[in-house]
Amino acid sequence: FSELVRRAVDDDSIKSVVLRIDSGGGSAFASEQIRQELLALKKSGKPLVVSMGSAAASGGYWIAANADEIWATPATITGSIGIFGAFPTIEKSLSKLGIFTDGVATTEVAGGLRLDGPLNPIVQRALQSGVEHGYQQFLQIVAEGRDMLPEQVDKIAQGRVWTGADAKQLGLVDQLGGLDEAIVAAATLAGI
């Protein structure tokens, strides 16, 4: 996808881009890679209009937030501005089977990510810190893209999802409409 965006930046025959998003989200890292390419597109002077399909949430919203215009249908599911992390352990399941483990470590965190034991509190705090940092980054991205303060975004974020109609009222979406309307908007922004 990043390569396609780079080609759009370099192709003088492309005057604006409509990005159709139909995604419930995914990796924050992957979303940020895509967002960086879209920021380069905007820096090139080409308008970016997002058209949300049935869902553009979490990572889908992460990449949409900096668009020049965001279009959604009234029923689009969007938002889900939040980050979560999970690290499953199976020590309780193993103990029910009569399987137990032990070991020797050279530091307090050695083996801290083993599945067969409880999560080390030091590692748990590090993972939680990473999640909290990612959430703050997400709030900042949305705040910058939607011309809001991070505190304003936090009030409507916290992982909650919204319909497109609600998202428009909250300032997360600019217009209600489908792909055809987004294409007209992109052409208008490009002056064609």
pLDDT score recorded for residue 104: 81
**Using one digit for the tens of pLDDT, what is the confidence trace for 70-115?**
999 999 999 999 998 888 889 899 889 998 888 788 888 888 888 8
Active site residues: 58
Q: What is the pTM of this model?
A: 0.88
SS3 string of the chain? CHHHHHHHHHCCCCCCEEEEEEECCCCHHHHHHHHHHHHHHHHCCCCEEEEEEEEEECHHHHHHCCCCEEEECCCCEEECCCCCCCCCCCHHHHHHCCCCCCCCCCCCCCCCCCCCCCCCHHHHHHHHHHHHHHHHHHHHHHHHHHCCCHHHHHHHCCCCEEEHHHHHHHCCCCEECCHHHHHHHHHHHCCC
